[in-house]
Amino acid sequence: MKFLFDQDVPDDLSYLLRQLNHEVSLLRQVLPQGAPDPTVLQFAHEQGFVLVTCNRDDYVELATLRPHHGVVVIIRRKTRALERAALFRLLERAGEAGLRNNINFA
């Protein structure tokens, strides 16, 4: 699968996805800094990415109004290890079919 990491997602979560043979792009490498959320979601959709973000408030609402290939909202935890574990559990539980075109929380 292809994932696009929003600017608020810690880079080290991308290592887990890469180890699992997923493609990961970082927002700051593909769009100008400060790109508005609708532009980010549209870019992710056009490029076939599942968007990974910590910005629950904006993207959950936006994803109900605009097309997307999936949104994963990372819930911040005390440690990165706990965040990685939650993301891994989501990937394992939902699989590609559960992530694709849905809003999920990890």
Q: What is the pLDDT of residues 73-104, one digit of tens each?
A: 999 999 999 999 999 999 999 999 999 999 99
Q: End-to-end alpha-carbon separation of the chain, Å?
A: 17
**For position 29, what pLDDT does the model report?**
95
- Cα–Cα distance for residue pair 88/38, rounded to 1 Å: 27
Question: Per-residue pLDDT tens for 32-72?
Answer: 999 999 999 999 999 999 999 999 999 999 999 999 999 99
**pLDDT for res 4:** 98
Q: Global pTM? A: 0.95
By the 8 A CB rule, do 45 and 66 touch?
yes
Domains of the chain, start order: 2-105 (3.40.50)
CA distance linking residue 58 with residue 67, whole number of Å: 15
Q: Give tens-digit pLDDT for 3-36.
A: 999 999 999 999 999 999 999 999 999 999 999 9
